[in-house]
Structure 1
Amino acid sequence: MIDSPDQNQTPTGTTLTAREKRDLQKAQLRPLANLRPELYDEDDYSQDELETMMEMYNGTMASIEEGEIVKSRVLDIRDNMVVLDIGFKSEGTIPLEEFKDLPDLKPGDEVEVLLEHLEDQEGSVVLSKKKADFMRVWERIRVAYENDEPVRGALIKKIKGGVVVDLMGVDAFLPGSQIALRRVPNVDELLGQTFDFKIIKLNKRRRNIVVSRRVILEQERAGKREKLMKELQKDQVRKGVVKNITDFGAFIDL
C-alpha cells in the first residue's frame, strides 16, 4: 500500500506556507500531464481545485497494490508491445505475444493484468497479462489435479523433450513420452489439435504444470478391455485385426 505524504508539511516536519503548498501540489500533479496533456494546465486551477485533484490522485495511488490483478485500458499497440493505462501516473507495456488469446485487441479495450511493480528503474509500471492469466486459472487447475479430473488443452508448439500445451490460457508441458500410447513419428501433425489431458505434476512456485495424454488413453484402453472381457464367451465368433505375427502365433486386436 502507498502512503500519501502530509501535504501541509515538508519531510522534516516544517509547516508549508500557502504558496509552498500550492507549488508542491503542482509538482506532484504534473506527471498526470503525460497521460492527458490536453486536460492539464496547472495555471488554470484554483487552490480548491488543486486540493480536489490531489485527493483524487492520492486516492488512486492508495487503492493500488503490487501483486494484484487490476483492470487496464489499451492506449496503443506498437513495435510488438501493448501500452496500457491502469490509472496510475505512468503507463506500462506488455509484449504483444502475451495477448495471443485476444487477436482482435485494439486501443480502448479493457484487459485484466497483474501489477508486478508500481515503478521500475525508468519510472514505468511493470505489468503482466500472462501472470494474471496464470493466477486466474490456477485454482481451476489445482482442483482438477486434486480431483484427478481431465482438462482440455491444445498442442501449440514443439520444444525440446515434448510439446507446449495451451491449458486454459496457461502454458503446460507435455513430455514426448506422454503424447500417445506409442511413439509419435511426426509430432508436427498434432499441433493445433485439442485433446483431454491429466495433470501429473503441479508446482505453483515454479509455475510448472506437466500433463499427460497417455494416461487418458491408458484409462480408455483399460475400460474397453474390461468391457470386452465381460462380453467374451466360449465358442463366440468375433472380428479382429491382426496386429503382429510371431513364430509362436499372432496377436489379434478384438
Structure 2
Amino acid sequence: VKENKITESVVEKAPETVKAFVESVSVEKTPAALSNFVEVKDYLNSKLFDDIRVVSRQEITETVENNNIPEKINQAYLDTLVDISEHQLIQGRVVGLNERDVLIDIGFKSEGIIDRNEFSEDDLPVIGNQIEVYLEFLEDASGNTILSKEKADFMRRWRDLREAYANQTEIIGKIIRRIKGGMIVDLEVVQAFLPGSQIDVRPIQDFDIYLNKNIELRIVKFNEARKNIVVSHKVILEDSLQVQREILFKELEIGSILEGRVKNITDFGVFVDLGGIDGLLHITDLSWGRVNHPSEIVSLNDDITVKV
C-alpha cells in the first residue's frame, strides 16, 4: 500500500513539469527566430536585372571621344607601363645587397637577383644606383627573377661594336694571346680574331712581339648569329699608304733614287717597300757578282737604296 501511494504522487506531479516546459517554449517567440532568415533571391529570374542600365556601343564611343586626356598626363601614365620580357637589356635600381646577391628593382612584381660574384669589389654598386642589366628569366624554378651584369656588359659592348662595323670606325683592342692562324684581341668584354695576315702589310716573323700591346683595328667581319668578330690592322695601314702611294706615283720616274725597306725575299729577288708601293729588286741587280740566293745579300726589314 505504501508503494502505491509513492507511485501516485510521482504520477500526479509529472503533468505540472511538462506544463512548465511547454509554457517556457512559447509560440509567440517563434516569429522572432524566423525573422533572422534572409530571403533567397532567384538569380535565374530575368527581372533581377531590370534596374541595371544598359549602355550601347555608340554611347561608349562618344564618351571616349569627349574625354580628352591632357598629353602630359597621358604620357606620365604611359611611362608607368614597362614592357618586360626575357633576354633583353633593362634599366634597374639597386635596392639591396647581401653576401650572395644584389637585389635590383626592374619594375616587375618582385626584385631581380644578380650573383654578387659578377661584380668586382671596386665595382660593387650601392643602394640607389641605376644600372643596366640583362634579364635572363622572369621566374626560375624557385620563382626568382634572374638578372646578369656580365651579359649586360657583353650585349652593350656588342651593340657598340655593331655600330662601329656599320660605320667602319676604328677601335682599340689589346692582343692577349696567340693561336693558330693569328691572335686573340680583347675588345673590352668581347673578344675578336685577328688573322696573322691582317696584322701588318709586311710579313711577320715573330708574332710574340705584339702580345699585350694595344693596336688600332677595324672590324672586317661581324657575325651576329655566331657572335663572331674578325678584325684587321692591315686595312688601316693600307688606307694611310694609299695617300702616300698616290703622291709617290706622281713624283716617280725612271732614274729616281729612293730609300726602301726589304719587305719579302724570294728565290728570284727582293720586294722592297718604297712607302706605299712595292718594288721588285731582281736577284741579278743585287750585286755585280754572282748571287746564289738574295738572302746572301739582304735580310728582312733591311733599309736599302734603290734606283728605278
TM-score after normalising by structure 1:
0.56
The structure showing larger relative contact order (alpha-carbon pairs under 8 Å, at least 6 residues apart) is: 1
Partners of 1:82 and 1:231 lie apart in 2 by 68
Matched residue, 2:211: 190
- Larger Rg computed on CA atoms: 2
Question: What is the count of residue pairs matched by the alignment?
Answer: 190
Matched residue, 2:104: 85
Report matched runs for 1:78-157 at 5 Å. 83-87=102-106, 89-94=110-115, 96=117, 104-108=123-127, 109-147=129-167, 149-155=168-174, 157=176
Deviations 1:126-161 (A, max 9, x none): 2233433344354543344344x1331212532644
1:73 corresponds to which of 79, 83, 94:
94
Cα gap change, 1:244 to 1:154, in 2 (>3 Å): closer
Letter in 2 for 1:183: I
Residue 245 of structure 1 deviates from its aligned partner by 7.1
* Percent of paired sites with the same residue: 42
Please state if 1:170 is matched with 2:190. yes
Partners of 1:206 and 1:250 lie apart in 2 by 42
Residue 244 of structure 1 deviates from its aligned partner by 6.4
Structure 1 unmatched ranges of 5 or more: 1-59
Partners of 2:144 and 2:269 lie apart in 1 by 72
Contact 1:174 1:212 in 2 (8 A): yes
Structure 2 unmatched ranges of 5 or more: 1-79, 275-308
Matched residue, 2:258: 238
TM-score after normalising by structure 2:
0.48
Partners of 1:179 and 1:250 lie apart in 2 by 21
Matched residue, 1:21: none
Contact 1:155 1:163 in 2 (8 A): no
Contact 1:116 1:127 in 2 (8 A): yes
The root-mean-square deviation of aligned C-alpha atoms, in Å, is 3.9
Letter in 2 for 1:157: I
Deviations 1:12-69 (A, max 9, x none): xxxxxxxxxxxxxxxxxxxxxxxxxxxxxxxxxxxxxxxxxxxxxxxx9976432342
